[in-house]
Amino acid sequence: MTLPLILVAGCYILLFNDFSFFKDTEIMAVKITAGVRDALLYTVGQDFGYGSLHVYTGTQPASAGGTHSDTTLASWTLAGFNTASGGSMALNVGALTQPVTAPATGTAGWARATDNSTKQLDMVVTATGGGGDLEINDVNIVTSDSVNITSLTILMPET
């Protein structure tokens, strides 16, 4: 039996007429090494490292970059990320202008980083020690409060 091949984006794809031989085949998850995860994080750091970060009230949208009508509680201009290692990359918190003054009152529910273009990265916000992607000094914010980022860590999973 001859199976047709097509070339798409430099990769050959084998076309099948009958997929029955896949019936009991287990498809394995893709796993990537720490080096690849760090390289991917390097790209994220380059895209978002000097963008902006906003903390909002409410619930994080279902998809990254989704529309919302939540109140902005704090905003920063980012100042770069530290070097990625082991699939983890932290914001260079020491280079930020902090604290920022809260423009509104509310409970921090989530945050969004943007590259000041179309790329967006949504994340969980908690108080310091709470384990969120972004940790701030207090999630209960009152207008004119000083808000500080204590850590922001982006993880690139192995699978």
Q: What is the tens place of the pLDDT at every residue in 97-147? A: 999 999 999 999 999 999 988 899 999 999 999 999 999 999 999 999 999
> Helical H runs in the chain?
34-48
Specify the pLDDT at position 98: 92
Report the SS3 class of residue 21.
helix
Calpha distance 17→46 (Å, rounded): 44
pLDDT at 35 over 50: yes
Calpha distance 93→153 (Å, rounded): 10
Q: Which two tokens stand for residue 155?
A: 């993880």
First to last CA, the chain: 35
Calpha distance 75→97 (Å, rounded): 11
Residues 6 or more apart whose CB falls under 8 angstroms from that of 31 comprise 158, 159
Best CA proximity match to 145, nearest among 102, 108, 97, 109: 102
Strand partners of residue 56: 72, 110
Specify the pLDDT at position 28: 66
